[in-house]
Amino acid sequence: MSLSRLCRVVRCDLVKVQSSSALVSKLWGPCAPREVSTCSTQRASVAQHSSKPDWNRAVSEAEKIVGYPTSFLSLRWVLSDEIANVALHLRKLVGSNHPLLKTAKFSAHTLRLLLNLVLPNDFQVGQLTVKIDTHFFSRNLIYNGKNNMQAWGLIVLLVSKAAGHSPEIPDMEQDKAAGVLHSQRALAEVTEMIRTSHLVHKGLVNMNSRQPIAAEPDDMMFGNKIALLSGDYLLANSCSELANLRNQELVELMSSAVRDLAEAEFLGERDEQNNPLPSRPLPKDQIEEATEWDIITDPLPMGGVIGCAGREWSARHVLAAGALLGKSCSAALKLAGHKPQLQTQGYLFGCHLALAWQAFLDLEAFTGPEPASFSLVGAPLAFTLEARPELYEYIEAGKKSVQDVDYHALYKAVLAGDGLEQTKRLQREHIARAVHVLDSFPDCDARTALANIIVAMHHDHL
Amino acid sequence: MPVSCVCYAVHILKRFVAVVAMACLSSSRLCARVQDKLLCQFGHKVRKQTVFVKLKPPGPSPLRIFGKTCQRVTTCGPACGSGGFSAGASSGLVRRLASSLQSTSTGSLPDYGTQIVDPYRLLEDDLNGIYEDIRSELERNTNQSELNTIATYYFDGQGKALRPMVAILMARAVNYHVYGENSALLPSQRQVAMISEMIHSASLIHDDVIDQSDFRRGKPSVNVLWNHKKVAMAGDFILAVASMMIARLRSDDVTLVLSQVVTDLVQGEFMQLGSKETENERFAHYLTKTYRKTASLIANSVKAVALLSGADESTCELAFQYGRNLGLSFQLVDDLLDFVSSAQAMGKPTAADLKLGLATAPVLFACEKYPELNPMIMRRFQEPGDVEKAYELVHKSRGLEQTRFLARKHGAEAARLAAELADSPYQKGLVVTTDLVLNRIK
């Protein structure tokens, strides 16, 4: 039973990777026909010239090196009887109009993960997944392709393999075929569970707001319930997975990453649905000196952060992404018996990679046709606001809901200024730092795979 | 009178045996206790006149108890149809009988021959400042003031602090048991007490968002005051900080034990979403859910303090079972109070469970006499008038009585287990706590 379920999960993932890349080329086709044609020829050749599908290529190549990051084996509760009940509720949720399903945050991957966990048989899984994908996620697949949570566990595994492990680790603990330790694989899984849990909790709807809510209150409440419990479920499982690793320093480090994610949701201004808004830019002479984050198990110091575009952007995304990836990479090296110094390097690699990734996502909104909306806390807009503080009045219009913001005006302002240029510089900086760490690892297939992922991300905007 | 007594006893027996056979909760032991209870029903009148023996005998069960128990067994045993209790009954069985006989003493404080121990007063120094310590631990872990405000909201010192109290009581009792009179409370054990309250609060905060409750502990609940997304994150935050505190104890076993609590809590929540078709399944479902949602936290945190004390495996297991029984008793009383207490005393609305669509023990018991409750349970009391009708039927039935009875059963078992620890004020405190839990009004 458990094995067949496992196979299904893996198969399902395989299918997904293919279908999403097919969809990527389809959707990108109209706006960038030249790229599509190059991509089909490139499939056979080595990745040299970068284009969108190279991302998927880099990721799927990397997956072959270390195996799938999520084994699902440890999620024993998948088979527990009571949990199957939730299937019914999820089905009800799919029929409802809960925005949880519509937000990019609640990605296809997340839902698939939950469905795989809770649904008792193949037929329902297939039917539901298809229905959900076509109805709610087709537009988000590109975004999810790049912001794929699976890639996070994958990075942790690649770093594990690239750094190797101390000779003292007993044979029993090694997954020889993949070149990583079983404990590192479990850790990669924890990383994904923590991230998924956070995203699912972020997908809640605030029902305590003055704004009328679009759908039926009962549907909303029900969606919130499921989202909250599903997130808690993943969190609880990551707790017990971590406990099973029997390494208390590691538990402390990873728990601090969960804390950082929670803190991220409180940083700066928010609209009524807790969507982030940038802070009003402070004049240069009023910005305090920033404090370094020396001890990463302590909370991120906030001195001199708010109102300073660059720092605010970094702090926000270190808390929301960098800390988790960095701490996971660092923890993976700890499990392999590496010295604290290398563990720190692992942290830096993960953190810089996550920030480079974020800069890339921020830029993406400005590469294609003009989008209906984009992140208000992205780096391009932050830099633009810093240069032209008078634009902040557009932001203030979004205090109730980010939907009230005049995105067109801000879009034009970003294109007119040098925000994009600065963001690209920022991205290059983070990439350079990540690559610097990478250079200290011995040359191997995992290191190359990491380099390819970075290159795929890097080249997109050059 | 004796006839009705028999009927009631047999009725209870039928119910429990069915329930226990379904539940995975140490079924054989519970079964045995149910039979004991059957006997108790008969002994009730007689016992009222007997003098209570000390709950904690210095060694193995003294012969005194044995003699009295035996007498009663032989007088009422055969009449109950559970014959075969002869003089040759195993000593284990007699011990269980002895403990179950004593169980009816719960509800009225037994005379210890010493002054009555108030656990809260006994632990005044240990519990003093526990909420402040939790608040400063949370404050240390965030630089976001709103997060700090939400996360510390329920740590205002207005709670009963039952979990920390029980954890510290057990810690001191076990330390005394293992190291004797000069033992002290370990800082790590006090940390576990704090952690237990933090995990509890984190789950309360998430419950508030799920259930949309308006009041808790006599003040507006978190979901009324803040953005639900932030509230959910604050719950995650408290759990993360608690989990860091656990890790800093640097004990693999304690971390494993406490991580089980979190898993149980969520599984319990999921169980609450579903319901079972048949009555027996439903009761087993209810008991397992109750263990996971309430008892697991108490059981595993007292186990954790016993582990930290360095006690042997059987003592840790004893601590766990004490916590499990106390927790079940606590929740049963809670479910009972939901029907009988006033909103003002509870600090939260009454019949809240029914309004949430939950069928707790009183309803499940009542539905034996009033089968019309079955469809209401299945539709989770959603149709107009369901809640009122169910409320009325529960009061007309013996559901409340039977719930109290089951709660006493578990309280008595907890008291019996506590009595096995070395005699100390803390050990007595553990026994008294079982009474506090049963006799509380809020």
| ipTM, interface predicted TM-score of the complex | 0.80
User: What residues in B contact A205, CB-CB < 8 Å?
Assistant: 228-229
A 77-116: CB under 8 A from B: 77, 80, 82-83, 85-86, 88-89
Element (H, E) at A253: helix A248-264
Q: Among A6-15, A232-241, A418-427, B29-38, where is mean pLDDT lowest?
A: A6-15
The shortest C-alpha distance from A261 to chain B (Å) reads 8
Q: What's the average model confidence in pLDDT over A295-304?
A: 92
Across the A/B interface, how many CB contacts are shorter than 8 Å? 170
A285 near B CB under 8 A? no
The shortest C-alpha distance from B401 to chain A (Å) reads 30
User: Which of A348, A350, A351 lies closest to A318 in space, CA to CA?
Assistant: A351
B226 near A CB under 8 A? yes
Q: What is the CATH number of domain A2-459?
A: 1.10.600.10
**pLDDT tens figures, A154-199:** 899 999 999 998 888 888 888 777 789 999 989 998 998 898 889 8
Tell me which chain A residue has its CA closest to the CA of residue B266. Answer: A233
> For residue A108, what pLDDT is reported?
44
Give yes or no for residue A144 having a pLDDT over 90. no
> For residue B86, what pLDDT is reported?
34
Task: Check if the beta carbon of residue A249 is closer than 8 Å to that of residue B247.
Answer: yes
Q: Which band of pLDDT confidence, cut at 50, 70 and 90, is reported for residue A82? A: very low
User: What residues in B contact A266, CB-CB < 8 Å?
Assistant: 142, 144, 146-147, 230, 233
Are A300 and B143 within 8 A, CB to CB?
A: yes
Mutate which of B270, B285, B355 to test chain A, going by most A C-beta atoms within 10 A? B270
Task: Check if the beta carbon of residue A295 is closer than 8 Å to that of residue A260.
Answer: no
> For residue A74, what pLDDT is reported?
39
B 135-154: CB under 8 A from A: 140-144, 146-147
The amino acid that residue A41 corresponds to is T
Tell me how far apart the alpha carbons of residues A345 and A330 are, in angstroms, rounded to a whole number: 7
User: What residues in A contact B142, CB-CB < 8 Å?
Assistant: 259, 263, 266, 299
A208 near B CB under 8 A? yes
Are B228 and A246 within 8 A, CB to CB?
A: no
What structural domains and CATH numbers belong to chain B? 2-103 (no CATH), 119-439 (1.10.600.10)
The shortest C-alpha distance from A77 to chain B (Å) reads 9
Residue B210 has its nearest CB partner, among A228, A252, A270, at A228
Tell me how far apart the alpha carbons of residues A194 and A225 are, in angstroms, rounded to a whole number: 18
Q: Which band of pLDDT confidence, cut at 50, 70 and 90, is reported for residue A364? A: confident
A 301-340: CB under 8 A from B: 301-302
Express the helix, strand and coil content of chain A in percent, nearest 5 each: 70, 0, 30
A261 near B CB under 8 A? yes
Which DSSP letter does residue A438 get?
H
Mean pLDDT of chain A: 74
The amino acid that residue B235 corresponds to is G
Q: What is the pLDDT along chain B (442 residues), one digit of tens a residue?
A: 444 444 444 444 444 444 433 333 333 333 333 333 333 333 333 333 333 333 333 333 333 333 333 333 333 333 333 333 333 333 333 333 333 333 333 344 444 444 578 999 999 999 999 999 999 999 999 999 999 999 999 999 888 899 999 999 999 999 999 999 999 999 999 999 999 999 999 999 999 998 888 888 889 999 999 999 999 999 999 999 999 999 999 999 999 999 999 999 998 988 887 767 777 789 999 999 999 999 999 999 999 999 999 999 999 999 999 999 999 999 999 999 999 877 666 666 678 899 889 999 999 999 999 999 999 998 889 899 999 999 999 999 999 999 999 999 999 999 999 999 999 999 999 999 999 999 987 6
B244 near A CB under 8 A? yes
Give yes or no for residue A202 having a pLDDT over 90. no
B115 near A CB under 8 A? no
Tell me which chain B residue has its CA closest to the CA of residue A300. Answer: B143
B267 near A CB under 8 A? yes
Give yes or no for residue A411 having a pLDDT over 90. yes
> For residue A9, what pLDDT is reported?
30
Q: Among A260-264, A456-460, B402-406, where is mean pLDDT lowest?
A: A456-460
Tell me which chain A residue has its CA closest to the CA of residue B254. Answer: A243
> For residue A214, what pLDDT is reported?
58
Give yes or no for residue A209 having a pLDDT over 90. no
> For residue A285, what pLDDT is reported?
86
User: Which of A427, A430, A437 lies closest to A346 in space, CA to CA?
Assistant: A437
Give yes or no for residue A137 having a pLDDT over 70. no
Per-position b or e across A221-252, b if 16+ CB within 10 A of its CB? bbbbbbbbbbbbbbbbbbbbbbbbbebbebbb
Return the domain boundaries, chain A: 2-459
Are B260 and A237 within 8 A, CB to CB?
A: no
| SS3 labels along chain B | CHHHHHHHHHHHHHHHHHHHHHCCCCHHHHHHHHHHHHHHHHHHHHHHHCCCCCCCCCCCCCHHHHHHHHHHHHHHCHHHCCCCCCCCCCHHHHHHHHHHHHHCCCCCCCCCCCCCCCHHHHCHHHHCCHHHHHHHHHHHCCCCHHHHHHHHCCCCCCCCCHHHHHHHHHHHHHHHHHHCCCCCCCHHHHHHHHHHHHHHHHHHHHHHHHHCCCEECCEECHHHHCCHHHHHHHHHHHHHHHHHHHHHCCCHHHHHHHHHHHHHHHHHHHHHHCCCCCHHHHHHHHHHHHHHHHHHHHHHHHHHHHHHHCCCHHHHHHHHHHHHHHHHHHHHHHHHHHHHCCHHHHCCCCCHHHHCCCCCHHHHHHHHHCCCHHHHHHCCCCCCCHHHHHHHHHHHCCHHHHHHHHHHHHHHHHHHHHCCCCCCHHHHHHHHHHHHHHHCCC
> For residue A267, what pLDDT is reported?
95
Q: Which band of pLDDT confidence, cut at 50, 70 and 90, is reported for residue A150? A: low
B248 near A CB under 8 A? yes
Are A228 and B267 within 8 A, CB to CB?
A: no
Are A299 and B260 within 8 A, CB to CB?
A: no
B292 near A CB under 8 A? no
Mutate which of B24, B138, B143 to test chain A, going by most A C-beta atoms within 10 A? B143
Are A201 and B236 within 8 A, CB to CB?
A: yes
Strands A269-270 and A276-277: antiparallel
> For residue A91, what pLDDT is reported?
52
| Between residues A59 and A438, the one the model is more confident about | A438
> For residue A154, what pLDDT is reported?
87
B19 near A CB under 8 A? no
Are B210 and A229 within 8 A, CB to CB?
A: yes
User: What residues in A contact B136, CB-CB < 8 Å?
Assistant: none
- Percent of chain B residues past pLDDT 90, beyond the cut: 61
Are A208 and B227 within 8 A, CB to CB?
A: yes
B378 near A CB under 8 A? no
Are A249 and B273 within 8 A, CB to CB?
A: no
Q: What's the average model confidence in pLDDT over A388-407?
A: 94
Q: Among A86-95, A285-294, B32-41, B169-178, where is mean pLDDT lowest?
A: B32-41
Question: Phi and psi of B68, rounded to 5°?
Answer: -65, -40
